[in-house]
Amino acid sequence: MHQRYPVETLEEALAEGIITGHPSMPQFQFEADQINDFIAFLKSLERSVPPITR
């Protein structure tokens, strides 16, 4: 997934709040330190996943 969607593009969405596609899940918003931690976590996963070849 990280090859198609750079994790940096999530920063703004996480800061402004994400509205989900179904009514039973509430909107949520992260604080700046939570966003930085989450992005760092996602980037750490990129390093451990071998590239997809087709």
Instruction: Supply the pLDDT for residue 19.
Output: 65
Instruction: Supply the pLDDT for residue 16.
Output: 78
Cα separation, 24 vs 34, in Å, equals: 23
Q: Which residue has the tokens 């996602």?
A: 42
* Annotated domain spans of the chain: 7-48
Instruction: Supply the pLDDT for residue 28.
Output: 74
**pLDDT tops 60 at residue 11:** yes
**pLDDT tops 60 at residue 38:** yes
Instruction: Supply the pLDDT for residue 33.
Output: 94
